[in-house]
Structure 1
Amino acid sequence: MSPNPAIATQLRQLIYYHLDNDLAQNAFFLAGRLHALEPRSPEASHLVALCCIRLGRLKAACDYSRDKGGRGQHLGCAYVFAQACLGLERYTDGIGALDRARGLWGGRNHWNKHSESSRRHLPDAAAVNCLLGKLWRAYGDTKKAVDCYVEALKLNPFMWDAFLDLCDMGIVIRPSNIFKMTPEMIAFLTTSTASNGSLEGSPPNIPLQPQVNVSNQSLATPGNDPFNPTVRNVGEVGLNLGGPNLLSRLNGSVPAPNGGYAQLQDWDSPAVNGGAHDDDIMMGEAGGPVSHAQAMEPPHAPMRTKTRPLQHLVPGGPREAPKMRSVSTRSRIKTGSETTETSEGSRLAMPSNHKRTISGHASQASSALELDPTAAPQRRSARIWGQLARPSSSKLASAVAKDPEAQQAGELKKARATGTKGRSATGSTVGRVVSGNRKLEPSDRDAKELRPPSVASGISTASQRTSAPQAEPQRDQEALQWLLDLFAKLGSGYYSLSRYQCQAALQTFASMAPQQRETPWVLAQIGKAYHERNAYAEAEEVFQRIKKMAPSRMEDMEVYSTVLWHLKKETDLAYLSHELIEADRLCPQAWCAIGNSFSLQREHERAIKCFKRATQLDPKFAYAFTLQGHEHIANEEFDKALYAYRCAISADHRHYNGWYGLGLVYERMGKYEIAEKHYKSAAQINSSNSVLVVRIGMVLEKMKKPQAALIQYSHACEIDPRSAMSRFKKARALMNLHHPKEALRELQILKDIAPDEANVHFTLGRVYKKVGDRASALRHFTIALNLDPKAASYIKEAMESLEEDDDDFDPEEGDV
């Protein structure tokens, strides 16, 4: 135990200071000093473990937090312990720690509690459920992971990480049902609307920001003075009851029932979980919740000079209202006689409907009006509310109120200015004081210029300040709804892409606002959608925009490198590889790009080494395992390819490229039944990929099932009508089944899709020969010969056999 509790408090403040400024190493050193002072304190253990997590020292974080976190005795320790267990693959230990601490986080909701001036360093139920979902997913229990993610999104729909994991797991969800108002948001907005000027009845766990009560009843009029109203309700949270509004904070203390003064409570941190205070820490403090009033409270107004009995507020007899302290030192050193004389003068000069300046003193204009009954009645301007919120205005008002000579000189100067402008110098115009007791005429420009800027600006914004509380709930609701709509669009696009519905994803992203669509993350999703559709030119253009926008971005660059590989752009791919490796040598995406560059140059061994390096840096990088398997197939190393594809599936069960690779290996090995099974597994994950369906048809065709193969080819054409491979395979299957006319229709469509493909024209020549159109057959044979001179021997042989009748069609013979 530390000899002085203030030492531990100061250390905690320093630790949070360094953590908030991303100085984790300094924070770790200070946390070690705190842990040495309080070795049995769970807060000290939590801070040390938290610093270790920030530094990436998972084992150390696990060791420091195991004692209090593993048994669920401290929520912070349990949370850090679970995070460390997730990184160390000790999933059951992390799950058990969070379950044992359920009583500490169940029911917590910190939505809308984090701001520039306050924070919660302990997690709430949404954060814990998200972490539990990650642990259960890594453990392999999909059902429990989904339940945890759903609970997290119910509490906080902005838990984007949980939504992404649900999409990646292939769960069927509706984004529109997730990104909507939660009961806490509705309660917050409803309470804000119902209590424009009052904070009473606020729901638990939803902190309301302090608002100045500027309702119609509080407008300053000759008969309604907010400083000394003639009628006050007993339950009013106002000037003399210490409520959480601005006037009460200016008083600083409230009368207690025992005759003393009770300090203001923490109005920005309501109690939660049944306790007096939440055990989280505000920004800039440590050891417990603190009030913002100490750091943000404006200077106190000067002492009020008139006291009034408030029998209806305090039972048991009259009692003086609490005095407002003066800002200046001059008023604080006044003698008691001076104060008494001032009070007596105020009692004689002020009637019930008196007028005052901000300082609370009676203005000399008010006395003049009382002596002159013919003068126009003066109004109290709503500008005093703007002056109260600015310390400079209060100081100015106090200075003027304390110096009668300066006040008279200022009033005389204003009266002279009024006279020179041609206005009548009546008592109502002479009696203008800093408090704003004046009427604004259209020609008051010169009078405004004589006022200080802080005072003049309050006049123009008085009407806006009165309507601000009513507009705030509406603005909050519109802001929340806008964010939820944005998340719904982003979520819908990502959900469609996760289910490989690329066209729907592209349409969703295209419907977004340009400032949100032209961001690296959204553009990366668009690029991946084009890549899945085999639209490599469009994908390249999108990724080029990403590189210009975010040159150091590493995510999804392995997809960009694959796009360049398909486009056979060796120079661009090599340049991309150098860029990525210079930006981050330990990034697996960079090594994937280098491997693709070597693969394009047919240096398969060097490419395999690069892909292995990527998997060493990230053992869960399924795409790198798949690329490694492709290189092994190119080297005809089928056993190694099988191992690489199995590793890819182990890293991500929904990685359809791994299933496709396994099917490809088994097809090369002649195991067509097993190959068909793996191809179908890949097609179930990505049902919109025509290539997978074509591969199933090819295996069925090799298994002597042409009719079943034709069905698969037809389905592939339905999925992607622009797929040249699907049309070509379907046409050849129709010719093999002796349907030359149907095959001719497919080939005529294919000729428009791929007019420069020699195989298409060669097959067209064979079909025309089959239907007896020898002139058309000769023309297409000639086109094929011009497009592919290397296959001249095959094409000339077919041209020489035009006079012969083909009784059968061999699918293998159609290849040139």
Structure 2
Amino acid sequence: MAPSTPHISSQLRQLIYYHLDNNLVKNALFLAGRLHAYEPRSSEASYLLALCHLLSGQPKAAWEYSRISGSRGTHLGCSYVHAQACLDLGKYMDGITALERSKSIWTSKSHWNKHSETRRQHLPDAAAVLCLQGKLWQAHSDLSKAVECYAESLKLNPFMWDAFLGLCEAGVHVRVPNIYKLSPELVAMVQAAPPPDSTALSDKTVSHNGPLQTQLNTNPNADPFSSNTPKGDANLSHGSSALWEKLNGSNVNVANIGPAVIHEGLETPSSQNESDEIRIINGNVSSNESWDPPLAPARRNRTIQQAEYGDPPPKIRTTNLKSRIRPKGEPEETNHVHIEEESVPAPVPSLGERKRTISGQVAHPSLPQPVEPGAPQRRSTRLLNHIRPTTSRLASSTLGPKEGREVKKVRATGTKGRMATAPTVGRVVSGNRKLMLGGSDGDGKEARSLSTNSSSHTKNATSDRTKEIEALSWILDLFAKLATGYYNLNRYKAQEAVQMFNLLPQGQRETPWVLSQIGRAYYEQALYPEAEKYFIRVKALAPSRLEDMEIYSTVLWHLKNDVELSYLAHELMEVDRLSPEAWCAAGNSFSHQRDHEQALKCFKRATQINPQFAYAFSLQGHEHVANEEYDKALDAFRNGISADSRHYNSWYGLGQVYEKMGKLEYANEHYRNAAQINPSNAVLVCCIGLIMEKLNDPNTALIHYSRATTLAPQSVLARFRKARVHMKLGELKLALTELKVLKDIAPDEANVHYLLGKLYKLLHDKANAIKHFTTALNLDPKAAQFIKDAMEALDDDDEDDPDMA
């Protein structure tokens, strides 16, 4: 008979997910092709095939296979993969439309805290879809809708890091503490989460003293240890987890899972290293005997058979309380056996006494069945007599004279025997190996033990939830620090970013990503030696890292470290020749060697690999400026702005080009745009001041220079221009104060000494003027003509010498 279609499809899907989970994408793609050929009209098959193509780096094929169901919004997986393929292919509105049409499917889904090593959700939830939708809107240049999607995604899942990065890139104001806080919603989700997967076989998850697992056997033919026991069964005890594990050869805690299949021949080790073994044999029970236990093999003659023919039973050892059953190879009887605890004996139809379960509830056995004369004794009754001492009422009402005499023999062992035997039997079966002394009420002690175990289990569960909440709080605090540091860096608050990253734990701070962010922060402050130190540590920890290496190459370019720059470019090319970061490093190396043509080729190659790599466009524009190719430079900087509207380097480059072209108004506008994005950059503020100075507005220029010196107290350029404006405004004492500070900062700068000589000349201090002019002449012999002219005209206060700045 041919197999059914659903079973074939199910097997193929399981194989596909198996290979995807093991990162065997090629195998998964082949199997997805078989599934799609078997079910060409199935949306699930199309989704899996499209997903495998997408993971294989084939977005066009993924787009094609997911287009029908994805564009209609009938299958969430197809819509999600279709939107991802559209993002890669530049078809942004198609992807947005697909996600919108499937909104009714994903809008209420939330998979936060529902993934583990053995549990997965292969379809996305609302947070993941909203994050992807935000990326599509951002690529479509609709930042307002992108921000809305990112914000909604973070509300549903604060750990959606891509959404947070999208908000930062959009340039919106973000209150990080409001995102990463332990909200009541998160606490409720943790408390409502299912317990850890019990299918993971780990010794650490087994509780040998845990509460008993009780289930009601509503199926009269069901073995209480078999997999077909209904979940609603609550009155029959499976015993403790320790007994369950030994009977099944498993370490699974039965307190957390449903019943499992018991295979024949599983052995329970004996505490006395005896050769006898206990086995569970599944049998059939007739429907009119609802409490009859399943079939079991016969006992050996030296145990049960001897008791059956009147021989006294052997005394029960207190250290070995396991029942013994005849091995499988021996002949079987027609009787049935039901293995239970001492406190929950197998219900015997002929008993007149009402029995109780472990919890103290009255068990409701079926009506007593007539016992045929001469019929062999019930197996469960013989086990009961063999394990637990019974009362005379039980013996007189149920058993014959032989059985009654055997029971009396057991009782004749005395109080000591009862105290050491009866309570201990129940504890051994339940998994508690402690000897319970004092008192003869086994059922009461069992109930008290169950209550204690249940209370302990409840406390453990509460403790686990508390620990989970504490762990979640720690992770949220970690994310808050990382997000705050990145947000400050994205807003170009470099000092605040460094301070926040330094608050991280040592293990988290010494990671490539954090060290790279700190290096970028120092780079933004033009502290290139400090930035180099952190990037060196990044390379030591992650030699194959590519992210942010273009910044490191620019740091080396500013430090004029040609050897290290060339070596970095060579290393990055070996790591990935098709990465834009590697080509940017190579271009910087050629640029430092004044080979502008080769540098331009490298930067153009980087933009070909990644057309959205704005930094490569800005480097390309600066090379065109060095070649005085202003039109090409304008095109390169504009392309950089198109790739990233918040890339202040491209705005600065446009201002620089317009300044060189003499279009000061345009230069001022673009400089201000760059400064609006990066208000803490002293160089941009100085550029605006210079434009104001050229536009004959020295007072406004002085304001910008003063702000630049506040932002960067060690900036030589800002203080030099500020002192020069003070001199133009006739504020000679203020200019002298700035120049004295500047002389201490840059004692080897020729321009500083030249300007000091001019200032002392205006102050009619010829001695100091000659001193600083001479120092400037020694530091910069190329400017000898200007310096000599200034020295010869010391007596002429109205002389207007050329400015060397």
TM-score normalized with structure 2 length: 0.75
Shift of 1:705: 1.5
* Distance of aligned partners of 1:226 and 1:68 in 2 relative to their CA distance in 1, 3 Å threshold: closer
SS at match of 1:551: coil
1:208 is aligned, of 192, 195, 220, to: 195
Counterpart of 2:55 in structure 1 is: 54
Aligned alpha-carbon RMSD (Å): 3.9
* Matched letter for residue 545 of structure 1: R
What displacement does 1:614 show? 0.1
Deviations 1:401-444 (A, max 9, x none): 9xxxxxxxxxxxxxxxxxxxxxxxxxxxxxxx98514379xxxx
The within-5 A match list for 1:263-274 is none
Q: Which residue of 2 aligns with 1:588?
A: 580
Kindly indicate whether residue 783 of structure 2 is the aligned counterpart of residue 791 of structure 1.
yes
Alignment of 1:119-130 (within 5 A): 119-130=120-131
Q: Is the 8 A contact 2:520 2:531 kept in 1?
A: yes
- Contact 1:741 1:771 survives alignment (8 Å): no
Partner of 2:443: none
1:436 maps onto 2:423 in alignment:
no
Q: What residue number does 2:39 align with?
A: 38
Does residue 709 (structure 1) correspond to residue 696 (structure 2)? The answer is no
Letter in 1 for 2:172: I
* Alpha-carbon contact 2:54-2:85 (below 8 Å) kept: yes
Match of 2:766 among 752, 770, 774: 774
CA displacement, residues 263-290 of structure 1 (integer Å, 9 cap, x when unaligned): xxxxxxxxxxxxxxxxxxxxxxxxxxxx
- Listed as ranges, the matches of 1:145-544 within 5 Å are 145-189=146-190, 191=191, 203=192, 206-209=193-196, 238-241=213-216, 252-254=227-229, 320=291, 334-337=332-335, 339=337, 341-348=378-385, 349-350=387-388, 371-374=413-416, 377=419, 436-438=433-435, 468-544=460-536
Larger deviation, residues 128-137 vs 713-722: 713-722
Give unmatched runs, 5+ long, in structure 1: 192-202, 213-217, 228-237, 262-290, 306-316, 354-363, 386-396, 402-432, 441-460
Pair 483,293 (structure 1): closer, same or farther in 2 beyond 3 Å? farther
Aligned AA (2:36): H
Distance 1:633 1:171 in 2: 32
Given that 2:226 and 2:259 are in contact with CA atoms closer than 8 Å, whether structure 1 keeps it comes out as no
* Secondary structure at 1:814 match in 2: coil
Query: What is the CA-CA distance between 1:471 and the residue it aligns to?
Result: 2.1
Which has the larger Rg? Answer: 2
- Paired residues of 1:762 and 1:814 also in contact (CA < 8 A): no
Question: In 1, are the aligned partners of 2:651 and 2:670 still within 8 Å (CA)?
Answer: yes
Please list the CA deviations of residues 517-572 of structure 1 after superposition, one character each: whole Å capped at 9, or x if unmatched.
00000011000000000000011111111111100001100000000000001111
CA distance in 2: counterparts of 1:63 and 1:792, whole angstroms:
72
Cα deviation for residue 99 of structure 1 reads 0.7
- The answer to whether the 8 A contact 1:239-1:251 is kept is no
Q: Does 1:814 align with 2:789?
A: no
Which residue is equivalent to 2:675? Answer: 683
* Residue aligned with 2:214, SS: coil
Q: Residues of 2 paired with 1:259 and 1:374: CA distance? A: 35
**1:231 matched residue in structure 2:** none
Pair 1:670–1:294, CA change in 2 (3 A) = farther
CA apart distance, 1:346: 3.7
Preserved CA contact (<8 Å) 1:39 1:45: yes
Mapped contact 1:255–1:322 kept (Cα < 8 A)? no
Indicate the larger mover: 464-473 or 84-93.
464-473
Q: Secondary structure at the match of 1:743?
A: helix
Distance 2:715 2:748 in 1: 15
Please tell me whether the aligned partners of residues 777 and 783 of structure 2 are also in contact (alpha carbons under 8 angstroms).
yes
1:254 Cα deviation (Å)?
A: 3.6
8 Å CA contact retained: 1:74, 1:101 = yes
**Relative contact order higher in (CA < 8 Å, ≥ 6 apart):** 1
Q: CA deviation at 1:791?
A: 2.1
Structure 2 CA distance for partners of 1:140 and 1:380, relative to 1, 3 Å = farther
| Cα displacement (A) at 1:85 | 0.6
What TM-score, normalized to structure 1?
Answer: 0.74
Stretches of structure 2 that go unaligned for 5 or more consecutive residues are 200-206, 237-256, 269-277, 282-287, 298-322, 338-376, 392-405, 438-452
Q: Equivalent residue of 1:806, what SS?
A: coil
Instruction: Give the match for residue 423 of structure 1.
Output: none
Q: Is the 8 A contact 1:736 1:809 kept in 2?
A: no
| Cα shift at 1:600 | 0.3
Q: Secondary structure at the match of 1:335?
A: strand
Contact 2:226 2:262 in 1 (8 A): no
**Deviation of the 1:324 alpha carbon:** 12
Q: Which residue of 1 aligns with 2:538?
A: 546
Task: Render the CA deviation track for 1:754-809: whole Å, top value 9, x for unaligned.
Answer: 1111111111111112112222222222222222222222222222222x132376
How far has the Cα of 1:371 moved from its partner? 3.2
In structure 2, the CA distance between the partners of 1:594 and 1:73, relative to structure 1 (3 Å rule), is same
How many corresponding residue pairs?
660
Distance of aligned partners of 1:510 and 1:733 in 2 relative to their CA distance in 1, 3 Å threshold: same
C-alpha spacing 1:108/1:330, structure 2 compared with 1 (3 Å): farther
Is the contact made by 2:622 and 2:653 (CA closer than 8 Å) also made in structure 1?
yes
Name which of 613, 636, 658 aligns with 1:666.
Answer: 658
Q: Distance in 2 between matches of 1:772 and 1:303?
A: 114
Q: Which moved more, 1:372-381 or 1:511-520?
A: 372-381
Distance 1:95 1:337 in 2: 69
Q: 1:337 to 1:745 in 2, by over 3 A?
A: same
**Structure 1 counterpart of 2:119, one-letter code:** S
Q: Distance in 2 between matches of 1:711 and 1:383?
A: 92
Out of 772-781 and 28-37, give the one that drifted further.
Answer: 772-781
